[in-house]
Amino acid sequence: MTPVATEWLLLAAQLATLIVLLGVGHVFLGDYMARVYTATKHLKVERGFYRVIGANGDGEQSWGAYLRSVLAFSVVGVLIVYLFQRIQTWLPWALGLPQPSEPLSFNTAISFVTNTNWQSYSPDTTLGYTVQLVALAVQNFVSAAVGIAVAIALVRGFMYRRTGTIGNFWVDLTRGVLRILLPISIVAAVILIACGVIQNFAGFQHVTTITGSTATIPGGPVASQEAIKELGTNGGGFFNANSSHPFENPSAWTSLFEVFLFLLIPFSLPRTFGRMVGDRRQGVAIVATMAIFWLASNVLLAWAELSASGIAPQLAGGAMEGKEDRFGIVASTIFGASTTLTSTGAVNSMHDSYTSLGGAVTLLDMMLGEVAPGGAGAGLYGILMLAVIAVFVAGLMVGRTPEYLGKKIGPREMKLASLYILTTPALVLLGTGLSFAIPAVKADLEKTSIWNPGSHGFSEVLYAFTSAANNNGSAFAGITANTVWLNTALGVVMFLGRFVPIVFVLALAGSLAQQDKVPVTAGTLPTHRPQFVGLLIGTTLLVTALTYFPVLALGPLAEGLK
Amino acid sequence: MAIAIVRLRTHQRMEFPVLDIIYVIAIVAVAAVVLLVAKGVEKL
């Protein structure tokens, strides 16, 4: 068997393993999450927390109140993470590291609160254990819980009749952390430790190697952070090399387990959605749409990397630059496709070294809007917004009032869905455009940030803004992002890319919750059949391709055609 | 945090944190933009 054929066989085996694990896991977790978010009783510890923050755990909120709670909680989070970084020198376990600069602290604080986890810095040589644990790891939990809470609020919009309320943010947040993320993270961390991921407070160890030279080996509480980094679709590494570092991801088995972890919640939430709206088939249609995109991306990315031209790639059986030997090509592409489709942003290979077409696939994955299956919560609310548009398009074709799950999709709902899908592309294109349109910024980018001039350099900047606006966090690592412009601009884009779409999602949830349900008639479009899955895939592709094709032509496509 | 405050109080050479203030204002400003969008959405 040729090396390339072996790689394809490996791809099939690993994807099949993931499908089986996720097929079983999403049923249990999806049903469990539905029970968590519909339960009427609070745990004792939860009641204590509500008392501390002065929240009424039994009260429901309008979409405006829900949004203000999300925003207030997140802004306070940004300020706390910013403060912790700026006083790092005086914190315990700072490892003698100085405090990060103001622009870098701004960028990092927003990055972790928005579930992006873009890192303009090298974590192991920039942040001590206290900042990593008390500031960043806490945000890994709560930012994921915020995303899930917003998705559940939108699902309640479809569930509720004439209420105008969409749940209680503080209850959703607390349950998400205590009942879902924390228990699974503890189990996952133990598994990771058993598989070789480190967990200590050893600091930097200076050792003499067998050749007589010295080496510095960093330690740290990695496994506990790695578990929530993947489960919460966060992606921020403890080390600069992220999941390609052997202390974070020692083997092909841990790599597959990490992919499973960051796919688990996004693929389980459609099941939760189906359960909560009382029709599991609706969840199956959504998960089928996500799975088709995910499988297609995996095959495309593997094909791009395995069929790389040139003597070195052909001798190696594919494009091995930037990939770890212990993972090989397909374990890298599975990780790469899944991380860019889930808004995780963790990497076990360097996307900057992918072939031009491979790089284009990772970009396109993010440009889909992080919906296949997307981030924790963000994936579900993203694809439901696209489903609203798909239903509207179908309504136009058959000349009937569009409905989705018994709720009418009127002008207000369509305006909100349209604004939602316009926000992220606007941020990506404006951010990238301004970076090259402002002469001083362009000069700084070309002098400091871009190491690969031409089309690839353009792709690096485009990737950075695409990653930031979609709250992904991965990077074309050839770019030096720790500059005043990129730290500040990417910080603003991450914040707006997270919370402006959430405004439209919650407003839509509120609008739907005010409506009564309309009965199903012969003219109602069935939204649980393969026909709707095809319509949703087509809508997603059209919206994405039309928006981004010109800019992709300037970057990876131009590079590939050279 | 308490340790940091104690150490901070004993630190002799503190410069006025101009950039810190600018970035804190920037954080509040982007949040205000989101609230403005929400206000606009209410009128849709």
pLDDT tens digits for A210-238? 999 999 999 999 999 999 999 999 999 99
Q: A541: which residues sit within 8 A by CB, 6+ positions away?
A: none
Nearest CB to A87 within list B4, B35, B37: B4
Q: Residue holding tokens 């330690």? A: A219
Tell if the CB–CB gap between B23 and A102 is shorter than 8 Å.
Answer: yes
The pLDDT assigned to A523 comes to 82
A412 lies within 8 A of chain B by CB: yes
Question: In this structure, is residue B2 part of a structural domain?
Answer: no
Query: Is residue A432 predicted with pLDDT exceeding 90?
Result: yes
Tell which residue, A322, A328, A323, A329, has the closest CA to residue A301.
A329
- Determine what percent of chain B falls in helix, strand and coil, rounding each to the nearest 5: 75, 0, 25
The pLDDT assigned to B13 comes to 56
Tens-digit pLDDT profile for residues A268-285: 999 999 999 999 999 999
- The token duo for A107 is 């960028």
Question: In this structure, is residue B1 part of a structural domain?
Answer: no
Based on the number of CB atoms within 10 Å of its own CB, is A48 exposed (0-12), middle (13-18) or buried (19 or more)?
exposed
Which chain B residue shows the shortest CA-CA distance from A493? B30
Query: Is residue A415 predicted with pLDDT exceeding 70?
Result: yes
Among A315-329, A462-476, B26-40, name the one with the lowest average pLDDT: A315-329
- Give the Cα separation of A42 and A192 in Å (integer): 31
Which chain A residue shows the shortest CA-CA distance from B43? A412
Question: In this structure, is residue B4 part of a structural domain?
Answer: no
Phi, psi of A165 (to 5 degrees): -110, 160
The pLDDT assigned to A3 comes to 82
Question: In this structure, is residue B9 part of a structural domain?
Answer: no
Tell if the CB–CB gap between A86 and B27 is shorter than 8 Å.
Answer: no
Question: In this structure, is residue B39 part of a structural domain?
Answer: yes
The pLDDT assigned to A544 comes to 82
DSSP A272-332: HHHHHTT-HHHHHHHHHHHHHHHHHHHHHHHHHHHT--SHHHHHHTS--TTB-TTTHHHHH
Q: Residue holding tokens 């930031």? A: A468
Smallest CA–CA separation between A422 and chain B, in Å? Answer: 14
Task: Calculate what percentage of chain A has a pLDDT beyond 70.
Answer: 100
Map A86-120 to HEC letters: HCHHHCCCCCCCCCCCHHHHHHHHHHHHCCCCCCC
Look up the ipTM and state it. Answer: 0.92
Structural domains counted in chain B: 1
Question: In this structure, is residue B34 part of a structural domain?
Answer: yes
Q: A184: which residues sit within 8 A by CB, 6+ positions away?
A: A227, A231, A264
Tens-digit pLDDT profile for residues A330-366: 999 999 999 999 999 999 999 999 999 999 999 999 9
Smallest CA–CA separation between A90 and chain B, in Å? Answer: 5
Provide the whole-model pTM.
0.95
- Give the Cα separation of A374 and A269 in Å (integer): 10
Query: Is residue A562 predicted with pLDDT exceeding 80?
Result: no
DSSP A452-478: S-THHHHHHHHHHHHHHHTT-----TT
Question: In this structure, is residue B26 part of a structural domain?
Answer: yes
Query: Is residue B12 predicted with pLDDT exceeding 60?
Result: no
Give residue A40's Cα distance to chain centre: 30
Query: Is residue B5 predicted with pLDDT exceeding 70?
Result: no
Query: Is residue B9 predicted with pLDDT exceeding 90?
Result: no
Q: Best mutation site among A84, A108, A114, A500 for testing chain B: the one with the most B CBs within 10 Å?
A: A500
Residues A490-517: what's their mean pLDDT?
97
The pLDDT assigned to B14 comes to 62
The pLDDT assigned to A370 comes to 92
The boundaries of the domain holding residue B41 are 15-44
Smallest CA–CA separation between B27 and chain A, in Å? Answer: 7
Tell if the CB–CB gap between B20 and A78 is shorter than 8 Å.
Answer: no
Which chain B residue shows the shortest CA-CA distance from A419? B41
Pairing assessment for the beta strands A214-218 and A407-408 based on DSSP bridges: unpaired
Which chain B residue shows the shortest CA-CA distance from A100? B20
- Chain B contacts in chain A segment 74-93 (CB below 8 A): 74-75, 78-79, 82, 86-87, 90-92
User: Nearest-5° angle of CA A71, CA A73, CA A75?
Assistant: 65
What are the beta bridge partners of residue A408? A403
Q: Which residues from B are below 8 Å from A99, CB to CB?
A: none
- Give the Cα separation of A201 and A95 in Å (integer): 10
pLDDT band at residue A379 using 50, 70 and 90 as cut-offs:
very high
- DSSP category for residue A351: G
The pLDDT assigned to A417 comes to 97
Which chain B residue shows the shortest CA-CA distance from A89? B4
- Chain A contacts in chain B segment 1-44 (CB below 8 A): 1, 3-4, 7-8, 11, 17, 19-20, 22-24, 26-28, 30-31, 33-35, 37-38, 41-42, 44
Nearest CB to A75 within list B17, B23, B31: B31
Q: Which residues from B are below 8 Å from A110, CB to CB?
A: 27
Among A141-155, A253-267, A330-344, B12-26, name the one with the lowest average pLDDT: B12-26
What are the beta bridge partners of residue A403? A408
Residues A154-178: what's their mean pLDDT?
96
Mean of all residue pLDDT scores within chain A = 95
The pLDDT assigned to A310 comes to 76
pLDDT band at residue B7 using 50, 70 and 90 as cut-offs:
low
Give residue A530's Cα distance to chain centre: 26
Tell if the CB–CB gap between B23 and A106 is shorter than 8 Å.
Answer: yes
The pLDDT assigned to A543 comes to 87
Tell if the CB–CB gap between A416 and B44 is shorter than 8 Å.
Answer: yes
The pLDDT assigned to A397 comes to 86
Give residue A529's Cα distance to chain centre: 27
Could you state, in order of their start, the residue ranges of all structural domains in chain A? 378-561
The pLDDT assigned to A308 comes to 83
Query: Is residue B11 predicted with pLDDT exceeding 90?
Result: no
Q: Which residues from B are below 8 Å from A129, CB to CB?
A: none
pLDDT band at residue B2 using 50, 70 and 90 as cut-offs:
low
The pLDDT assigned to A123 comes to 92
What are the beta bridge partners of residue A207? A215
A315 lies within 8 A of chain B by CB: no
Tell which residue, A462, A478, A464, A472, has the closest CA to residue A555.
A462
Nearest CB to A64 within list B4, B28, B38: B38
The pLDDT assigned to B3 comes to 61
Residue of higher predicted confidence among A489 and A125: A489
Nearest CB to B27 within list A64, A75, A496: A75
Query: Is residue A515 predicted with pLDDT exceeding 70?
Result: yes
Map A234-275 to HEC letters: CCCCCCCCHHHCCCCCCCHHHHHHHHHHHHHHHHHHHHHHHH
Task: Calculate what percentage of chain A has a pLDDT beyond 90.
Answer: 90
The pLDDT assigned to A481 comes to 95
Tell if the CB–CB gap between B41 and A416 is shorter than 8 Å.
Answer: yes
The pLDDT assigned to A400 comes to 76
Question: In this structure, is residue B25 part of a structural domain?
Answer: yes
Tens-digit pLDDT profile for residues A2-55: 888 999 999 999 999 999 999 999 999 999 999 999 999 999 999 999 999 999
A105 lies within 8 A of chain B by CB: yes
Which chain B residue shows the shortest CA-CA distance from A413? B44
- Give the Cα separation of A62 and A359 in Å (integer): 42
* A305 within 8 A of A333, measured Cβ to Cβ: yes
Identify residue A286 by its one-letter amino acid code: I
Tens-digit pLDDT profile for residues A73-123: 999 999 999 999 999 999 999 999 999 999 999 999 999 999 999 999 999
The pLDDT assigned to A230 comes to 97
Nearest CB to A71 within list B3, B31, B42: B31
Query: Is residue A473 predicted with pLDDT exceeding 80?
Result: yes
- Give the Cα separation of A194 and A226 in Å (integer): 13
Length of chain B, in residues: 44
Tell if the CB–CB gap between B31 and A79 is shorter than 8 Å.
Answer: no
- Determine what percent of chain A falls in helix, strand and coil, rounding each to the nearest 5: 70, 5, 30
Residues A428-442: what's their mean pLDDT?
96
Tell if the CB–CB gap between B28 and A67 is shorter than 8 Å.
Answer: no
Tell if the CB–CB gap between A488 and B26 is shorter than 8 Å.
Answer: yes
Which chain B residue shows the shortest CA-CA distance from A412? B44
Give residue A235's region: left, alpha or beta (phi > 0; psi -120 to 50). Answer: left
